[in-house]
Amino acid sequence: MTTTSETTLAPVAEAETTKPALPDYLVDTYTWAYLRPASLLLLDNPLVVSSILWGNFRRLMRTACEEFVPGQKVLQAACVYGSFSESLARTVGSEGSLDVVDVAPLQVENCRRKLRYRPWARVRLADAAAPGGGPYDGVCCFFLLHEVPDSHKRSVIRGLLDSVRPGGRVVFVDYHKPKFWHPLRGLMSFVWRRLEPFAFGLVDTEIRKLAEDTDAFTWRKETYFGGLYQKVVAQRHPTA
Ligand SMILES: C[S@@+](CC[C@H](N)C(=O)[O-])C[C@H]1O[C@@H](n2cnc3c(N)ncnc32)[C@H](O)[C@@H]1O
């Protein structure tokens, strides 16, 4: 695997100066969750994050982080409440680097605060569909896809796949269609209908089918907790 000692950090100045506007879908659907200071107070809390994921936060964070190794240059596609970024920063370690991008200035500031003791991690304003700063050894997209409209899902997937070097991995951890017998199936459907309408475009479709240029990657998928969650790993062929 290529490590940061073999790759050079690409300049991000250009990406940093092209500030993305807040997307309409975020303002219209997720102001309550991401765009108010009170949202941070309420939601950026390990207990809340763990409850929202039915006790699976640590397990899902672990399964995402285990796809990366110390010394890598890794991109995280959006801020996440709780300790996810700290964990990913610890995984790559001070020999590596972590770039976190997000479209919301409030989230960028909050994540910078959480990562202030990890100087090899930086957080900047960018849309995951055009993150800049690549190529990366690895990319991690944790629970972002279900929150973006379907056309933007494709743009984000394209932007992330384009950001990884030959041999590198893009790791998606997100919701998945639960098994027919899952006791939470009806409740999750209700929650998605009410609060997270773009989730249906993810659970009803394979992530791989939303991607272009799939032949340049080897794909694998695992599901967890009765199929409610998935990890999809796209590894770019060494020559692609
Ligand atoms: C990763 S998702 C959801 C994570 C999870 N629900 C949690 O506990 O935080 C939330 C973040 O995605 C960001 N976001 C939404 N659309 C984005 C995009 N196109 N590019 C980058 N960040 C985006 C939001 O601003 C928000 O900070």
30-45 tens-digit pLDDT: 999 999 999 999 999 9
Q: What is the mean pLDDT of the chain?
A: 92
The residues spanned by each domain of the chain are 23-236
Is the shortest distance between the CB of 173 and ligand 1 below 6 Å?
no
How much is the pLDDT for 18?
Answer: 63
In 10 A of CB 164, how many CB atoms? Answer: 24
**pTM, whole model, 2 decimals?**
0.92
Confidence category of residue 9, pLDDT binned at 50, 70, 90: very low
Pocket test for ligand 1, best of 87, 103, 157 (most atoms within 8 A of CB): 103
Please work out whether the CB of residue 228 comes within 6 Å of at least one atom of ligand 1: no
| Amino acid code (one letter) for 49 | V
Whether residue 137 has its Cβ less than 6 Å from ligand 1? no
pLDDT in tens, 118-145: 999 999 999 999 999 999 999 999 999 9
Asked if residues 135 and 187 have their Cβ atoms less than 8 Å apart, the reply is no
Arithmetic mean of pLDDT, 102-124: 97
Q: What is the CATH number of domain 23-236?
A: 3.40.50.150
User: What integer pLDDT is reported at residue 20 of this predicted model?
Assistant: 83
Task: State residue 12's pLDDT score.
Answer: 46
